[in-house]
Chain A
């Protein structure tokens, strides 16, 4: 690469530099006091500017992939916007208070385990993002201490990512490998259930050491205040519409964000109808819309734009190529993919690895693809910005990047390697 340093290469180098600098600024948000969403947006815009300045391709060649990326990115953004609003509608109706009847445990440790298990199984059906939004919001209602809330939230992120890895519909990257034919659903669930479960168990076991004592009486009481009218109906409708999303996708073939928008518009019509008579403005959707975290959505938009520009520049692919030159072992590559997915979005990484390694080299259901699915799914938990679930959690609880790295990162790494170990043991035995 060095001997042919053209103008385009310099621009690619500049893009990487902008990305890394932006990344550092995001990591030190609490010191700089500049919002991470705006940095992410700026990085996205600048990287795409640099990409468009390249003279290697004509303008038409550039605009086409940009449209493709944008179409994909905006689907994710609209999905998040819709899901956040649905959860917020349920939240203003105090619909989750109804769930609190299930949490009769007193000890914080038991509470942590209960939440983690529910998250794990919920995320194997629902997507990680929705699961995290629902469960982190719910867990936050029971804990008064900020540190406790953050720890339980971290466990939710890890459990959601682990739970998504072992089913074809639970996680975007696993779904990609499933649709691409690299994995079949039966084999996938057989091979990855135990590793995913142990990944969660190791990590949550480590986190539970930091939690002590019982849930306070007040936090139990405050979660039992009088519910808003129709809260049960809204709860059923909200959960139902979220679970309907994959079904809607299967039956109509429309992308998932359309399913989420359908759920949102049903809830919106219902709330408009049942609250039309009284003075209940705070229960209607325009109020919920103003309460959702727009900065988080914009952060997402910025990050996705930035990563897409690196992908369009071929930087991700080049990186993967040079990795496979230095690391010949396939299992080590999969492990590295997991680590990489902690830093950048796992979707382009899995897409790149699907492009790089052909089905001829690794046939369907070969250990390599199993490991890629597991690692890309669970490796993202190591850093807070490594997974959609983490980013959502970051915005719900305003957790800083550094706090997560210090307190949850180690647990997630433990679970990550624990899961890989279980997978290797299991493949020896089976």
Chain B
């Protein structure tokens, strides 16, 4: 931390001020996407004028970051489009026909359980998008819908933590040979389940009784042509995305673009005969996609990467290491930190800081990191990709989430850690 020069200081100040503006969006009336973009650009300007870094050094790190950020952005755009195509075809009625539940609590549990298992195969982002869109079809806007949406975020993050393909950070640790597949699943499945169950127990307290029939749409309305077909095609293609990655070795966003372009071609062909079906075709669907949410994402990711390029994140981790001795506490703290900043650079920094000599493969430290970074992000809405997408799709207020969800998420997080430590017989170490 002794290397905190004026440039790093200004960068941190920009980040903090921007962060405050984002949380106060309600009062300032300035869209958070533009604040995020502005923060990102200013931070990168600081990084580029800091004489400590050479221009070629900077261009290199910006180029690498852009390449990984754009993968997330294109992935998100593709996923949103596929889901929206299904949506305009009223394809989600297939699911809502299957879920005939009126009780609020039951619905919360069913939706969250589906999200938990879906996200162990699909990534958290897609899972959240699909499930949030689904409940948007099912229930009218209101406090109850937001609570169920929050449950989806917690379940998606918890479900992603225990499989190597379910979550970016677990995948990173898996590819980086910190953890092996069997070990992740056996050691983290129970803590992840406990994390979700405890959080949902607290979250479901304010939910009572049944939904009015005016709020919940269980009966089928008039279906669009090819609705069922588009639903199964879309879901099949989404599940195909990880398969595509394994088969070709191409990054997931290419699989998502592939899925999107197939959906596009199919809808163009099946609707080409009819003039009155423009609302079912992709150019119209694209106008309904939330681009400001995507730009918010772009800004936040760019900004975090500037902090990463300036080695601020790495310094922070070094400081943690010097001041807090216990491995378990560091892992827990990393989880809590991942609620504030993106967990991807955090895990990347951790992997850079601690070698395999210090903590060998499948050691407790890496297991805890996988669990904490995966589930800790649920505590704040901007702590995980799933949360940010939820924020974008439902226009959730930062403080609303903090008031209603942070504590349940925290209890779930801690409960999972306790269960993990007991199971390993290392409680109190």
A and B: bona fide binding partners: yes
With A34-B269, A254-B45, A289-B292 known as contacts, the answer to whether A273 contacts B287 (CB < 8 A) is no
Q: Which residues of A contact B48 (CB under 8 A)?
A: 252-254
Interface stretch, picked from B58-66, B219-227, B316-324, B419-427, is B58-66
The majority secondary structure among interface residues of chain A is helix
With A41-B261, A74-B73, A258-B41 known as contacts, the answer to whether A294 contacts B289 (CB < 8 A) is yes
A78 touches B70 (CB 8 A): yes
Q: How far is the CA of A53 from the CA of B249 in the complex (A)?
A: 8
Q: How far is the CA of A92 from the CA of B282 in the complex (A)?
A: 23
Q: Which residues of A contact B62 (CB under 8 A)?
A: 254-255
Chain B residue at minimal CB-CB distance from A268: B34
B359 to chain A, nearest CB (A): 25
Q: How many A-B residue pairs have CB under 8 A?
A: 148
B63 touches A71 (CB 8 A): yes
Binary B-proximity of A377-390 (CB < 8 A = 1, otherwise 0)? 00000000000000
Chain B residue at minimal CB-CB distance from A43: B261
Q: How far is the CA of A70 from the CA of B254 in the complex (A)?
A: 11
A68 touches B258 (CB 8 A): no
A45 touches B33 (CB 8 A): no
Binary B-proximity of A56-75 (CB < 8 A = 1, otherwise 0)? 00010011001110110111
Binary A-proximity of B222-263 (CB < 8 A = 1, otherwise 0)? 000000000000000000000000001111001001101110
Interface residue A286 (Cβ < 8 Å from any Cβ of B): yes
B63 touches A38 (CB 8 A): no
- Interface size (B, Cβ < 8 Å)? 54
Interface residue B349 (Cβ < 8 Å from any Cβ of A): no
Q: Which residues of B contact A276 (CB under 8 A)?
A: 29
Interface residue B268 (Cβ < 8 Å from any Cβ of A): yes
Interface residue B214 (Cβ < 8 Å from any Cβ of A): no
Interface residue A80 (Cβ < 8 Å from any Cβ of B): no
B268 touches A33 (CB 8 A): yes
Interface residue B114 (Cβ < 8 Å from any Cβ of A): no
Binary B-proximity of A274-306 (CB < 8 A = 1, otherwise 0)? 001000000011100111001100100110000
Interface stretch, picked from A259-267, A341-349, A407-415, is A259-267
Interface residue B20 (Cβ < 8 Å from any Cβ of A): no
Q: How far is the CA of A284 from the CA of B286 in the complex (A)?
A: 18
A49 CB contact (under 8 Å) in B29, B35, B250, B291: B250
A262 touches B38 (CB 8 A): yes
A81 to chain B, nearest CB (A): 8
B67 touches A48 (CB 8 A): no
Query: 25 A-B residue contacts at CB 8 Å?
Result: A33-B269, A34-B265, A35-B264, A38-B265, A39-B265, A42-B258, A42-B265, A45-B258, A48-B248, A48-B254, A49-B248, A53-B248, A59-B249, A63-B249, A70-B71, A71-B70, A74-B67, A74-B70, A252-B49, A253-B59, A262-B38, A268-B37, A269-B38, A294-B289, A298-B286
B contact residues vs A (CB 8 Å cutoff): 29-31, 33-35, 37-38, 40-41, 44-45, 48-49, 55, 58-59, 62-64, 66-71, 73-74, 248-251, 254, 257-258, 260-262, 264-265, 268-269, 272, 282-283, 286-289, 291-292, 295, 298-299
A contact residues vs B (CB 8 Å cutoff): 33-35, 37-39, 41-42, 44-45, 48-49, 52-53, 59, 62-63, 66-68, 70-71, 73-75, 77-78, 252-255, 258, 261-262, 264-266, 268-269, 272-273, 276, 284-286, 289-291, 294-295, 298, 301-302
- 4 closest cross-chain pairs (CB), A and B: A74-B70, A268-B34, A38-B264, A71-B67
